Structure 1
């Protein structure tokens, strides 16, 4: 993974000193709330319902064991002993004292971490596939390109005060695990007829109050022009994006208003001024960044899949876990392992300090000292020897990481909701827990099969409910918390937005509602159909009829 040079380190250390002074002046009354707000947002600090929340950047989801231990230390020393992993692969502390934040940022700087541009109307953390660099279906390793974009965007003065927040995702595989179609900009690699590398470029995706699937405006962008083209897109957005209404300020609104063709024409016009300029990438620059992402010291191993038959028979729980929680590695004899943070009764994406320390230890022993955070709010050990899987499984069980539910109904994506967030209309975590308890039978979960269930506490859609096969949105009805259900969303390459099922439900009704939806699916599915496949084949009417027959 990328290692800071002396300039990187100096930059974040200077930022810590700067924010320490800003915080001191705010607490003494020299800075007003209005003056302090943009300063704290530039350093990842939100004012939540009960306490300040600090969002720490985890560029493209990569962590070292040393950084993970620092997260555990901060959670112990300054928070309530746990952290939350967000859908942008970042880490959030939810119970901080404002006066402690400069000290926390100083500690983060000692392990090459910061909170710069994790909030505010700027370019946010660049995200990618949690299996980047190791996935069997990978076309290119997207991490060097993520790092190139990250270095270009960090503290870029032109992009610090955009009309609205801005998110970029880069995919590198045939499968889209980076969810690029619902980002402001999505990038994926392609090769032209001559075998040259380029990128397909998507703009105008996004969720929130106005969910939109983005559109591809460039089918082949030469890699040398990547930063120039991103610059051109952002210049068009900065010039024409609305600033008078924050609900209409995202680039998705601009692309729709102009039409994708006109937007692309304006980008091409900007490229006439940028092409061949200082943002043009060179092989030397790409090599400078790429050398940080060389393969670890893999052993020469053979694939051992066939050797698990006897262990699987003796330990069926291990077999279930191996099926759900491991991914084929591009290197023979290795697998990528997903550590589930979704056992029943735990808020999705939360992990306590002792578990963070344990995860760091596991990374040192089994995965070259490195971990990944995922869009689905889990943790990945990307380079595990197959021969070590059974031993690792045993340790994961002890640490609470071995729930074999990756990709299943209880692997819920969920925002912190009304338990923490001042923007939320309703709580998310109790809904997730009640659904997890209703579907706590692993045999039944496996029978249901792959199903994405996403929960958001408000229209900002931090839980990505729009693209869940089943999406749940917290809504306020005359001061009471209710929940709206949508069906048919997808965050994969076949991205789609869910359709609202009908009137919302009270909290206590939600497990029963999900049960009825699953019953319809089980009755109607054909062999090998996932929930989303059955929904797309039969439509919404049967689901609606079953749910509302007894609920309204």
Structure 2
């Protein structure tokens, strides 16, 4: 895990002191809200529907137990006792008082955390595979790369006022758990014919009002060329990107308007100019970063306690079957902690729950936690012998729901409960869907099914790449929910197809039931996942289930 250098600590302290002075000027009236806005956004502070919101960076989703405990302390001391984990592996505090924000930032700095570049038209928090350094299918841990990118992009003088926000994701595995194809730049680790590691570079992905899957601009980029190539990509877009229309300012629109071949030629030309200027300092820095991500000294122990609990305790067995993933080290597992108890707010964790997770990481998990883009928490390194004790502690804290990847493991943005941009509620819809399918006891029969909900066209809930996507909109003052089917956030990424007219808030849960019933009747076996059934049978049976025979008649006409 990366530790701050003296430079890092001094930089963050200086930024915090600067912002404290700016807050004081806002409170005494020396700054208007319009004047204060660009200053607060540079420090992760938003003004939402009811209060300010502080968004804290969790670079590449990695936390120590001390950092998680500090987040719990901040939640209790200056907020309402909980935090909300987001799809960018950040945490948001939704109720801080403006006068307290500088103290919150200083408390974060005590544990080497900050809120810099979690907002504004700059390069945002770099995200990564939440199984990084642990996954059995991994080529290499992508977090050193993500940390290198974080240091390069933080306060980069050319990239502080970009046409729009810019997001980068990195994965080290062929199975993409970082949604790289829906990012402005996605980096997938690959090996060339000589076995050397490098990157497939994807540009122009993004969701929002114009969802697009990214396009490959480089099949193989040597590791040593990474920073100058990234700088070339962002520089080209910084010059070409639209500033006359914020809805057309993202790099995905630039790639669409110019074409990937033209963008590739411009990037390669810019890269040729930039590459000589990178005289090895970046690689020296990379070499210094890598040791911070050395794997723990994994312990070799008997797995008998796990085997016994798995055989004798059906509740533990269900949790193990659903929430555990394969680890690269013998005798170990990756344990996902669901923040999606049936009826709970997706992504929320109380201060007490944060402390429980911190204690488990410290005692059993080599002092590491991860935040996933799916708004859950991960213990990336746990020995199987400790899993019964971990499960018991999670159960006592209300954190042992066995639903990872299932229908109630819903991604949902804050929606109209918090967000000033939202046009519909997201949280209550997620809660109702999860509660309903828990009542029906269908969740495990349905199997892997990703539902993602956004409360507005900005798509913070990733609805476009959900197997079932739900978009909440305002229709003449009434909430209306559009459904898309067939989205995919993995290496086979796809944008979901809209089913047809939307549904009211009262109608949306029954509509989801009809979709699920159709899937269960159409799948060719219990092992065929929803996305595979949809790709095989197409939209027609689902539209018929949603809208009845009228859809068939309209199509015939």
TM-score band, normalised by shorter chain: over 0.9
SS at structure 1 position matched to 2:518: helix
Deviation of the 1:460 alpha carbon:
0.5
**Superposed CA offset, 1:242-293 (max 9, x none):** 0110000000000010000000100011012111222656654322100101
**Equivalent position of 1:548 in the other structure:** 547
Q: Which stretch of structure 1 is more off in the superposition, 411-420 or 34-43?
A: 34-43
Deviation of the 1:34 alpha carbon:
2.2
**Superposed CA offset, 1:359-415 (max 9, x none):** 111111110222110010000111111011111111110011110100001000000
Cα distance in 2 for residues equivalent to 1:281 and 1:529: 50
Cα distance in 2 for residues equivalent to 1:298 and 1:181: 33
The reply to whether residue 514 of structure 1 matches residue 512 of structure 2 is yes
**Superposed CA offset, 1:315-343 (max 9, x none):** 11111100111111101111110011000
Q: Which stretch of structure 1 is more off in the superposition, 533-542 or 192-201?
A: 192-201
Matches for 1:341-420 after TM superposition, within 5 Å: 341-420=339-418
**Equivalent position of 2:121 in the other structure:** 121
Cα distance in 2 for residues equivalent to 1:486 and 1:283: 44
Q: 1:308 to 1:24 in 2, by over 3 A?
A: closer
Q: Which stretch of structure 1 is more off in the superposition, 239-248 or 269-278?
A: 269-278
CA contact 1:207–1:466 (8 Å) conserved in 2: yes
Cα distance in 1 for residues equivalent to 2:385 and 2:273: 55
Cα distance in 1 for residues equivalent to 2:262 and 2:103: 48
**Equivalent position of 1:146 in the other structure:** 146
TM-score, with structure 2 as normaliser: 0.97
**Equivalent position of 1:490 in the other structure:** 488
SS at structure 2 position matched to 1:158: coil
CA contact 1:227–1:279 (8 Å) conserved in 2: no
SS at structure 1 position matched to 2:488: coil
**Superposed CA offset, 1:54-101 (max 9, x none):** 000000001111111111111111111110000000000001111111
**Superposed CA offset, 1:330-357 (max 9, x none):** 0111111001100012100000111111
Matches for 1:250-265 after TM superposition, within 5 Å: 250-265=250-265
Cα distance in 1 for residues equivalent to 2:2 and 2:385: 29
- How many residues are matched? 550
Cα distance in 1 for residues equivalent to 2:38 and 2:413: 23
TM-score, with structure 1 as normaliser: 0.97
Matches for 1:184-333 after TM superposition, within 5 Å: 184-278=184-278, 280=280, 283-301=283-301, 304=303, 310-333=308-331
SS at structure 1 position matched to 2:22: helix
Cα distance in 1 for residues equivalent to 2:279 and 2:538: 48
**Superposed CA offset, 1:479-524 (max 9, x none):** 1111111101000111000111111111111111111000000000
**Equivalent position of 2:537 in the other structure:** 538
**Equivalent position of 2:528 in the other structure:** 529
**Equivalent position of 1:428 in the other structure:** 426
CA contact 2:499–2:543 (8 Å) conserved in 1: yes
Cα distance in 1 for residues equivalent to 2:444 and 2:61: 28
Consecutive unaligned residues of structure 2, counting only runs of 5 or more, are 552-557
Consecutive unaligned residues of structure 1, counting only runs of 5 or more, are none
> RMSD of the TM alignment (CA)?
1.5
Deviation of the 1:442 alpha carbon:
8.3
Cα distance in 2 for residues equivalent to 1:313 and 1:445: 22
The reply to whether residue 179 of structure 1 matches residue 179 of structure 2 is yes
CA contact 1:329–1:335 (8 Å) conserved in 2: yes
Q: Which stretch of structure 1 is more off in the superposition, 508-517 or 254-263?
A: 508-517
Cα distance in 1 for residues equivalent to 2:85 and 2:51: 18
Q: 1:545 to 1:386 in 2, by over 3 A?
A: same
Cα distance in 2 for residues equivalent to 1:442 and 1:139: 41
Cα distance in 2 for residues equivalent to 1:271 and 1:372: 34
**Equivalent position of 2:337 in the other structure:** 339
Cα distance in 2 for residues equivalent to 1:221 and 1:309: 44
Matches for 1:431-470 after TM superposition, within 5 Å: 431-441=429-439, 443-470=441-468
CA contact 1:169–1:178 (8 Å) conserved in 2: yes
